[in-house]
Amino acid sequence: MSLIGRLISFLRPYAWQAILGLTLAVTLTWLSLVPPMLMRILIDDAIMKHNRVLLLWLTIALLGVYLASTLLSMVRNYLMAWLGQRVLYDLRTRLYEHVANLDMSFFEARRSGQIMSRITGDVTALEQFIVHNVPSILIDLITLVGIAIVLFRTNVHLALIALLPAPLLAILTVYYRELAIVVYRRLWNVIAEMHSFLIETLSGIKVIQCFNQEEREVKRFRGRCERIVRSNLDAARLSTLFFPTMGFISTFGLMLVWWIGGNQVLDGQITIGVLTMFTMYLRQFYVPVQNLTYLNDVWQRTAAAAERVFEILDTKPEIEQPSQPIKLGELKGEVVFDRVSFSYNGNGKQDDGALALRDISLKVRPGETIGIVGRSGAGKTTLTALVARFYDPKEGRILIDGHDLRQLDLKALREKMGVVLQEPFLFHGTIYENIAYGRPNATMEEIIKAAKAANAHQFILNFPDAYDTYVGERGTKLSGGERQRISIARAILRDPKILILDEATSSVDSESEYAIQKALERLLKGRTTFAIAHRLSTLRNADRLIVLDSGRVVEMGTHEELMQRDGIYKRLVQIQAMLSNSLLNDNGNGKGDGDLDSSNESNAHNREGNDGSNGNASRA
């Protein structure tokens, strides 16, 4: 389907409203052709012949035409606004729905600011085109044809003179189009860059302030704004040169008509009423001509926006739901890696160096806890991402309860999975809503139980609004430990059979860590668990530990077994113990037990309720 056809297809659900809008537009166009004709009669037959009765009737007729135009315009404008909003809604929700179902590789290849620009700005440009520009093209064409017929029937000589500027207008438009493509594409790119920059710096504002980099970031922002200014000025320069020039050329045609038509009046070849009518029509004639030349500019923007929007809509997720998915019943939780290799860059077969995982074979029993250990970049997170099927292996296969992951119903599979990340993501909503995120229909009783199991209930009670407390954007009103416990409650409520813990305790203080460890112990019971941790002490109770190095499993066994070997695990444990002791010696106090991280448990929230009352109580 052509680009225009594809765009217009968004009107299909509102076909009747669109037809009504178009009918009204055509009616209004025809009505706009009536006044010049009436003016001709008014001048030639009423004023010049002193016919007062005719003058009165013609004035009333003109008033009626203008009144009808006004009323119909009101109806049409509202209808178009309604249609515009419906199309905008459809476009935006369809795009977001599609984006929400795309896999990780899509988001890794694009900055979120660019995606945002497409969902906000580009979609609005498309709505403008579909709802406002397309009808306007039709109206302009009808106006042009209608007026051309009247002009040629009235005076062929004058009509031909009026059309003299047309070839020049066409040449200029083609030239402008070539330049406009480059300018508007660059403008969009710099605006998208600014969006990305804002998203990045606003979400990392703490780091910026901690490192005193405010000035540098402001300077960088200024640089981006200057590029936008320059690009906009380039576009403005082009427009300011082009459009007034087009206007002048059109007016030149009108001046010629006044000169030649005026002479024809003086020679008695035509009446003054005819010349007035002719010039009135000509003014109406040049408006659509100019509109159609602007249309080129609009089309350039629309085509660029459509290209970007359809690029997303046409992107097929690499992780696809199988055509005939196997429906899992009760999941036992056995996970088998069968000679699995994976690369983030295309097909890993050709370039062994690019492999993030190499030839992994591993059988995890239902309910078993597997601790995953290794240096940064060893492939720990990649391994768990494959279990959740955020990516598919390039070679080998992963089996869950004996079924290849690629043949399972994706949604059903993820329903059985729980994830607790190092930086838990909470949504801007209440604690209640965040715990219930994975099970919106959970009862309050289930939510309280999950919060209790996550050691979160007690601190929730201390908030003045308890479970109705708003956590702020990304949960910023809670401390790191509190956020983590809410995320564990969320996972508990989901009751997953397979659980992924990715550094779940590494960003919290020792006290929070203890509470979180206790909560995790409860969460782990009866679930197949993959736990990643740099703090090796937290993995001691794992049933088995696997050590990854450059994407390979190099060691496997219990903590005791691995400590008996002279391998990577033993060295990592020794290094952590050494560093821990060194901290103890330096400070005379420390966390010990391989605990290398200090925390930044923040007092992000105002706990006016800690005294046992709501904030209002003190005043009451």
Partner 1 sequence: MDGDIEPDLEIRWLDECEVQVERDENNELWLICDGQRMKIGRLVRLLPLTDKSHYISVLDTDGREIGIIRDLQNIEPASRAILWEELERIYMMPKIKRVRRIRHEKASGGMVWEVETDIGAMELHIPNTDNIYKARYPRIFIIDEDGRRYEIPNCDALDSRSRRLLARYF
Cβ closest to partner 1, residue 411 vs residue 619: 619
Decide: helix, strand or coil at residue 66: helix
Count of Cβ atoms closer than 10 Å to residue 152 Cβ: 14
Torsion of CA 506, 512, 518, 521, to 10 degrees: -20
Counting Cα atoms < 13 Å in the Cβ hemisphere of 158 gives: 29
Question: Scanning residues 473 to 512, which ones bind partner 1 (CB under 8 A)?
Answer: 492-493, 495
Q: Residue 2 CB, nearest distance to partner 1 (Å)?
A: 42
Q: Which residues contact 594 (CB under 8 A, 6 or more apart)?
A: 535, 536, 537, 573, 576, 577, 580
Nearer to partner 1, 84 or 464 (CB): 464
CB of 82 to partner 1, least distance (A): 21
Instruction: Please check whether residue 456 is in contact with residue 491, taking contact to mean a CB–CB distance below 8 angstroms.
Output: no
Nearer of residues 323 and 616 to partner 1, judged by Cβ: 616
Judged by beta carbon, residue 366 or residue 567, the one nearer partner 1 is 366
Which residue, 70 or 458, is less far from partner 1 as judged by CB?
A: 458
Beta carbons of 163 and 240 less than 8 angstroms apart: no
**Residue 447 Cβ, how far from partner 1 at the closest point, in Å?**
9
Task: Give the nearer residue to partner 1 in terms of CB position, either 445 or 586.
Answer: 445
Q: How far is the CB of 612 from partner 1 (least distance, A)?
A: 4
Tokens encoding 312: 């997303």
Site for partner 1 in 551-610 (CB under 8 A): 606, 608
Strand partners, 546: 372, 556
Determine which helix (DSSP H) or strand (DSSP E) holds 308, and give its type and residue range: helix 272-313
Locate 206 and state its tokens.
């703490």
Binds partner 1 by CB under 8 A, chosen from 466, 554, 563, 579:
466
Residue count at the site for partner 1 (CB under 8 A)? 39
Rounded Cα distance between 194 and 200, Å, is 10
| DSSP tag of 608 | G
Q: How far is the CB of 501 from partner 1 (least distance, A)?
A: 16
CB 158 within 8 A of CB 261: yes
Shortest CB 529 distance to partner 1, Å: 13
Least distance in angstroms from the C-beta of 289 to partner 1: 42
**Closer residue to partner 1 (CB): 197 or 432:** 432
State how far the Cα of 416 lies from the Cα of 446, in Å rounded to an integer: 17
Residue with the two structure tokens 């515009």: 84
Report the site for partner 1 in 521-550 (rule: CB under 8 A).
Answer: 522-523, 525-526
Both tokens of residue 293?
């030349």
Give me the 51-70 binding string for partner 1, x by CB under 8 A, dash otherwise: --------------------
Point out which residues pair with 420 in neighbouring strands. Answer: 501
37 contacts 277 by C-beta, under 8 angstroms: yes
**In the complex, least distance from residue 68 CB atom to partner 1, rounded to whole angstroms:** 34
Nearest distance from C-beta of residue 99 to partner 1, angstroms? 23
- Residues 420-459: x where in contact with partner 1 by CB under 8 A, - otherwise, as a string: ---------xx-x-----------xxx-xxx-xx---xx-
Least distance to partner 1 from the beta carbon of 542, Å? 19
Tell me how long the chain is. 620
- Contact pick of 90, 465, 593, 597 for partner 1 (by CB under 8 A): 465
- Window 264-283: contact mask with partner 1 (x via CB under 8 A): --------------------
Please identify which residue in 467, 479, 509, 572 interacts with partner 1, judged by CB under 8 A. 467
CB of residue 485 to partner 1, shortest distance in Å: 13
Closest CA to 612 of 452, 423, 466, 417: 466
- Is the distance from CB of 607 to CB of 567 less than 8 angstroms? no
Which among 127-135, 176-184, 587-595, 612-620 is the span making contact with partner 1, rule CB under 8 A? 612-620
Which residue in the block uniquely carries the two structure tokens 């607790």?
420
Q: Does 367 bind partner 1 (CB under 8 A)?
A: no
CB of 495 to partner 1, least distance (A): 6
Among 2, 212, 441, 616, binds partner 1 (CB under 8 A): 616
Q: Report the alpha-carbon distance of residue 513 to residue 504 in Å, rounded.
A: 9
| Residue with the two structure tokens 């420390």 | 590
Choose between 377 and 615: whose C-beta lies nearer to partner 1.
Answer: 615
Instruction: Give the nearer residue to partner 1 in terms of CB position, either 478 or 523.
Output: 523
**Which residue type, as a one-letter code, is found at position 58?**
L
Q: Tell me which stretch binds partner 1 (CB under 8 A): 35-43, 337-345, 460-468, 554-562.
A: 460-468
DSSP letters of 208-248? Answer: HHHTT-HHHHHHHHHHHHHHHHHHHHHHHHHHHHHHHHHHH
AA letter at 557: G
Q: Which chain residues interact with partner 1 by CB under 8 A?
A: 429-430, 432, 444-446, 448-450, 452-453, 457-458, 460-461, 464-468, 470, 472, 492-493, 495, 522-523, 525-526, 606, 608, 612-617, 619-620
